[in-house]
Structure 1
Amino acid sequence: MSTGETINGQPVTQGQIAEWAAEAEAGYDVEALKRRGRGRPGRGAEPSQVVALRLTSEELAELDALAARAHKTRSEFIRDALAAYAAVTN
């Protein structure tokens, strides 16, 4: 039975919730959690930079629609579009 909640589009079941609760009640290995690292994995040898960009709601909707049609994330789509633009202008 589903709770109506989803994770990555997959329904969360009562069984999963019960397993998570049992795991939490048993306790976590804090040292193991600390070793996991922080943040998103890098994209290469050099640290990545975050660039803020202001878009209207219409621009953002169009961007998301284009990315979805290309089966890419918003960030992947923007990076690929910039690379394609750079390729034709150089």
Structure 2
Amino acid sequence: MANGETINRQPVTEQEIAAWADEAEVGYDVAALEKRGRGRPGRGAKPSQVVALRLTLDEIAELDARAAREGKTRSEVIREALTSYAV
């Protein structure tokens, strides 16, 4: 493609764009699309909320190191720390 458009760093071709346009013109099954859901899956039965947190680069490095050592995600380590602190 002349303008260098990419998806996941892969060039998009004119043929792909034409195929997507043809697919759109035929129409989509809206009910099937709505069933797919949106966003990340929930963590449990109750809704959860995203909370922003500012950390220094050193704090992030320490957090990532601990998460790697324990085979966990940043979020898991933070939630465990909060749970431990609140008890």
Question: Shorter-chain TM-score: which interval?
Answer: 0.5 to 0.7
TM-score, normalised via structure 2 length: 0.60
Q: What is the aligned partner in structure 2 of residue 42 from structure 1?
A: 42
Structure 2 residues without counterparts, runs of 5 or longer: 1-15
> Which residue matches 2:66?
66
Q: Which has the larger radius of gyration?
A: 2
Identity in percent:
68
Task: Spell out structure 1 runs of 4+ moving beyond 2 A.
Answer: 29-34
Q: Which protein is richer in strand relative to its size?
A: 1
Aligned pairs, number:
65
Amino acid in structure 2 at the alignment position of 1:54? R
TM-score (norm 1): 0.58
Deviation at 1:30, TM superposition (A): 3.9
